[in-house]
A = this chain, B = another copy of it.
C-alpha cells in the first residue's frame, strides 16, 4: 500500500502513477479512460506517463498482476496446506479475504475485467484457472465427506467466492481477520441457527 498521491502535483514516481491510474480506471472504467484523459486526471503530461509505461494496456497488465499473482499464491498455498480438504478450502477463503482487503484496488479492477483486450482475456483465463482449482478443493472435500454433495462442486466454488469477492464492493473497514471469520462462517456453516 502506498500513500495517496497529491492531486495535480507533477512528478509521480512509478508506483504512485500506477496507483493513481488504477483509481481512475475504477472510477471511470478502463475502456472509458484514454491515456490523454488519464494524464489530465493525474495532472501530468502524456509523455510523463509514457516515461513509466508503454501503453494504457501495460498499466492495466501491471495493475492486474498484483491481484492475479496474489490469487496464484493463495491457491497454491491452500493446495499444499496440511490437514483435510476442508481445511485447505478454509485456508483458500481466509487468505483470499486477506488479499482482497490488502490489494482492494487491483482486485476490484480484476473483477470488472470484460475481455476487450489481450491483457483482459489473459486475466480472465487466469481467473478461470483459479476458479477451477477452488472447485477442485470443493470436490476433494466432498470426496472426504466433509462438504455437502448435493451442490455441484463448481457451483459451490462460485457461490463461496461470490461471498469472498463481494467484499471489494462494500467493505470499508480494515479488520481483515474479523471479515475473514464472517466469510468463512457464512460460507461453511450458513446464517441459520440449528
Contacts and interface: CB of A to CB of B under 8 A. Distances in A.
Interface of A: 26-33, 86, 112, 114, 116, 138, 141, 145-148, 150-152, 155-156, 158-167, 169-170, 179, 182-183, 185-194
A191 B161 CA distance: 12
A176 B59 CA distance: 39
Q: Indicate how many identical chains form the complex.
A: 2
A191 B27 contact: no
A164 B161 CA distance: 11
Nearest to A162: B166
A149 to B, nearest CB: 8
Contacts of A190: 186-190
Q: Interface SS of chain A: helix, strand, loop or mixed?
A: helix
Contact of A186 (B29, B141, B159, B179): B159
Question: Top 9 A-B pairs ranked by shortest CB distance?
Answer: A162-B166, A32-B32, A190-B190, A31-B32, A29-B29, A189-B190, A188-B192, A29-B31, A162-B163
Given A30-B32, A31-B31, A158-B170, 17 more contacts: A29-B114, A32-B33, A112-B112, A138-B191, A145-B193, A146-B193, A151-B182, A155-B179, A156-B186, A156-B191, A158-B166, A159-B183, A160-B186, A160-B191, A187-B191, A189-B190, A190-B190
25 contacts: A26-B114, A27-B116, A28-B116, A29-B30, A29-B114, A31-B31, A32-B33, A145-B193, A147-B192, A148-B185, A148-B193, A151-B191, A155-B182, A156-B191, A159-B186, A162-B162, A162-B164, A162-B167, A162-B169, A163-B163, A186-B190, A187-B190, A188-B190, A189-B189, A189-B192
